Structure 1
Amino acid sequence: MNKANYRISILGCGWLGLPLAFFFADQGLEVKGSSTSPNKLEVLKQKGIKAYQIELNPSLNSKFNSDFFNTDILVVNFPPIRRDDIIDWHTQQIESLISAVRKSEISKLIFVSSTSVYADINNEVNELNRETPSKNSGKALRIAEELLGKETGFKSSIIRFGGLIGYDRKPGRFFAGKKSIKNGDAPVNLIHRDDCINIINHIISKNIWGEILNACCPEHPKRKEFYKEAAIIQQFKIPEFEANTEGYKIVSCDKLIKSGYAFLYQNPIDCLKY
């Protein structure tokens, strides 16, 4: 796709979406960003990005500006909200969003999903695994992915990111000073924000549409190794883990690598200073 000709809208300019909007704006693209926060809208405007207040509660707010959907590519980047009816609520959000996209000029969509769609099967998982996830957030995302996959009016690609780290998200504080933490021998599935942004750009620049792609560091150190190292590097009290596994998965990103993507960080331990 010719960068000079395409427009991109980012639904959800939070911890990942905001720097993603900046990334594309810095390339000279027409970027539109949404947020529910007036403060974030001002930050977007200061960067020269068209800002829109878009809410899904669970339907689109009645006074939303439809110009946000006057774009070529839409990046959908908001997680399921933690609530008792998380599955029904998120499903209604996605259904409302799809209805708006159908009425728009959007031809391509990237959906930011999560590796929480995978069950802990104590083995490697790839994009073909269909076991039901244990968490309702994962179940909600599975349904969202399926709804988008059924659409024929636009092409969707789904990125299942591992746990997001980098910058102010310092994993060293997660378990700082805690003792007898279970699942110490379980592998971690994490990814740095810079890789996330580059992967989204990779999908667009390489025209990878209609695909599901896992995205996390190719190497998977044990929890006890990663979080102890994180505490040391980031100057938190070192946690103590039990040497056991209670349930885990190793998320394979071979498909993404075969598409030509080269990770900035092979091992999440390498991310800890950045």
Structure 2
Amino acid sequence: MKRISILGCGWLGFPLAEQLLVKGFQVKGSVTSRLKLKKLKAAGIEPYRLVLDVDKVQLKDQTFFDTDLVIVAIPPKREEFIETIFPAQIKQLVKLLEEFKVPQVMFISSTSVYNELNGEVREDNVLLPQKSSGKALVVAELLLTQNPHFKTTVLRFGGLVGADRNPARFLSRKTTAISGSKPVNLIHLDDCLQIIQTIIDKDLWGETLNACCPVHPSRQEFYEKASAVSGMPAPAFQNEQSPYKLVDSSKLIHLLDYQFIYRSPMDYLEAESSE
């Protein structure tokens, strides 16, 4: 594998493209804004403007799909009817994946596909998401994984932290007390990038993997520490138990022989506080 196309060079896709360039891959990257094309080109990423619509794909130069792997790193937008809009967009993408005979696909999904069952959730769980974005992702996963023309590996990431994402801001606007005992399911950007790289290196296709810190501190423990590190006021917590889920990443750890850079999101905060 020498050529990789990243559909969506945003918060995750852009640093991933930079990392893959360092590893010696030819990297093509897409954005929806013409203004961001210069940023890609300056970084050595072959720039493409690609917009997925429900009825077509806006893409002038289709050499984006002349590649060994397409990494789909575009989350569903927070908009009305996303349950039908996002799958329709993925259907348009699938047409091009088939047409250009792309052999492998990696789809960046989310642990929002799981319901809160008050226990561990694994890849073989029945998926009954509550949020519209989770429902959209479930259908998108099926459209890709059940297609016989290419092999898809799905990565279900937990909540993303690191880089310029200050976790203290996640709950800073809450005006009422929230459950403090609820466990968090988070993963650092550094681990996201390393996991993707390891999948490519090990040529692991046709799998669905949870990707989340193996250690799950409570909301109160994590966000009080995050607020202290960033100098922001901590949200108010209450002891009342609310529905929760614990994302189990043991399948990923086993198949990739992977060691997390940050086994707990608390490790990330400790590193931040020592800088």
TM-score range normalised by the length of the shorter chain: over 0.9
The Cα of 1:63 is off from its aligned counterpart by 4.3
Deviation digits for residues 107-142 of structure 1 (CA, Å, limit 9, x no counterpart): 110000000000011111000111411111101100
Deviation digits for residues 177-199 of structure 1 (CA, Å, limit 9, x no counterpart): 85642221110000000100111
Residue 255 (structure 2) pairs with residue 244 (structure 1): no
Say whether the 8 Å CA contact 2:178–2:236 is kept in structure 1: no
Unaligned stretches of 5+ residues in structure 1: none
Unaligned stretches of 5+ residues in structure 2: none
Report the residue type matching 1:270 in the other structure.
Answer: D
Report the residue type matching 2:264 in the other structure.
Answer: N
Whole-Å Cα distance in 2 between the matches of residues 142 and 84 of structure 1?
17
Instruction: Describe the SS at the equivalent of 2:144.
Output: helix
Whole-Å Cα distance in 1 between the matches of residues 164 and 226 of structure 2?
13
The structure 2 residue matched to 1:29, chosen from 15, 22, 25, is: 25
Match of 1:263 in 2: 260
Match of 1:97 in 2: 93
Report the residue type matching 2:224 in the other structure.
Answer: K
Report the residue type matching 1:85 in the other structure.
Answer: F
Match of 1:149 in 2: 145
Task: Please give the TM-score of this superposition, normalised by the length of structure 1.
Answer: 0.95
Whole-Å Cα distance in 2 between the matches of residues 34 and 200 of structure 1?
18
Whole-Å Cα distance in 2 between the matches of residues 71 and 86 of structure 1?
29
The Cα of 1:105 is off from its aligned counterpart by 3.7
More deviation, 30-39/177-186 = 177-186
Counting only pairs closer than 5 Å after superposition, residues 81-120 of structure 1 correspond to structure 2 as 81-120=77-116
Whole-Å Cα distance in 2 between the matches of residues 248 and 147 of structure 1?
28
The structure 1 residue matched to 2:208, chosen from 212, 227, 249, is: 212
Say whether the 8 Å CA contact 2:52–2:58 is kept in structure 1: no
Whole-Å Cα distance in 1 between the matches of residues 121 and 43 of structure 2?
40
The Cα of 1:58 is off from its aligned counterpart by 2.3
Classify 1:154/1:221 alpha carbon distance in 2 versus 1 (closer, same or farther; 3 Å). same
The structure 2 residue matched to 1:15, chosen from 11, 17, 20, is: 11
Residue 265 (structure 2) pairs with residue 253 (structure 1): no
The total of aligned residue pairs comes to 270
Say whether the 8 Å CA contact 1:215–1:256 is kept in structure 2: yes
Classify 1:123/1:258 alpha carbon distance in 2 versus 1 (closer, same or farther; 3 Å). same
RMSD of aligned Cα (Å): 1.4
Match of 1:136 in 2: 132
The Cα of 1:57 is off from its aligned counterpart by 1.9
The Cα of 1:246 is off from its aligned counterpart by 1.6
Identity %: 46
Whole-Å Cα distance in 2 between the matches of residues 167 and 63 of structure 1?
30
More deviation, 42-51/172-181 = 172-181
The Cα of 1:62 is off from its aligned counterpart by 4.2
Question: Which aligned segments of 4 or more residues in structure 1 are displaced greater than 6 angstroms?
Answer: none
Counting only pairs closer than 5 Å after superposition, residues 159-174 of structure 1 correspond to structure 2 as 159-174=155-170
